[in-house]
Amino acid sequence: AFADEVTARHGLDPQWVRRQIGQAERLPAVIRLIAPPPSPAAKNWAAYRDRFIEPVRVQAGLRFWQNHSDALARAEAAYGVPAELVVGIIGVETLYGRHTGNFRVLDALATLAFDFPPSHPRAAARAEYFQGELAQLLLLSQRQGVSPAQWRGSYAGAMGLPQFMPTSWERFAVDFDGDGKIDLINSATDAIGSVANYLKAYGWQSGMPTHYPVRFDAATLDLDALLAPDILPSFSTTSLQAKGVVLDDEVRRHTGLLALVQLHNGDPQNGGAAPSYLLGTDNFYTVTRYNWSSYYALAVIELGQTIAQERAKAAKLSDNKKID
């Protein structure tokens, strides 16, 4: 039934579609990986951060930036997205291509499309989503002249250096190296341009910070109201101050809406620290469109910043040696 629907909707050859779908295998490992953990661990921003802002990833990021500095600069000029943010995303997603996933994408998407765990609170919606991704994989394969069974990626079906799902590949991937084809698996240049295009399409505003530090006035703080919208920017600077947020001059000059983002640092009753907070801008929210998580967004931002700082240090050291 799915094959017939895809054929009718997209004008593909019905025998080809049925043959490709018929190759898909159900992967129990994918079902286990997509299911929520039975007893979720307490969130810990410090532990999450340490997974990504660490020496191996930073050094790999420095090499990636060095090797692709022209493409990163060109993407920044074309889309307004800072090079460090693109470097941060590709670093968090795949460690610059080292970990792109080894699941056969056809199997992963078919498993999630037709055997999504019914215990999941959004099982029906998620199954429908993955059916759409599976259909898009077939279309992508047709255009690329590749067998659908050849694609490799994550257990959720994400592919290449930037871990694009098939629909993101269709909507946002660009031929940034100008060779006449889009290749997010082997072309770092295409991946760089595509990540920048993705963020620009989701509303990245050049020159706007992603976030600001924040302080509170304990006497007037209304934390519940501030956290209610989650990471969606919902408060003007005036309304933030009315709810007990202390703003410095830089934040008061910000003209857009802001969100109070809470970062847990483990369970305080078991030795964890108290939560920490920041004010997220529309650009912070844009980064979460890549992955719906404030932890993910901040890890991407801080990895990119760390690599940029290390790159600046190396450049300064090199200049000093030339002077000596």
| Contacting residues for 54 by C-beta, under 8 A, at least 6 apart | none
Those residues whose C-beta lies under 8 Å from the C-beta of residue 188, and which sit 6 or more positions away, are 64, 67, 68, 71, 97, 161
Rounded-to-integer distance, Cα 132 and Cα 290, Å: 18
Catalytic entry in 25, 76, 84, 93: 93
Residue 167 parent element (H or E): helix 166-172
Can 93 be counted among the known catalytic residues? Answer: yes
**b/e map of 236-271 (b: 16 or more CB within 10 Å)?**
ebeebbebbbebeeebeebeebbbbbbbbbbeeeee
- Is there a contact between 210 and 301 (Cβ–Cβ < 8 Å)? yes
The C-alpha atoms of residue 11 and residue 108 are separated, in whole angstroms, by 24
Alpha carbon separation from 217 to 87, 107, 165, 214, 261 (Å, rounded): 37, 53, 43, 10, 17
Catalytic residues: 93
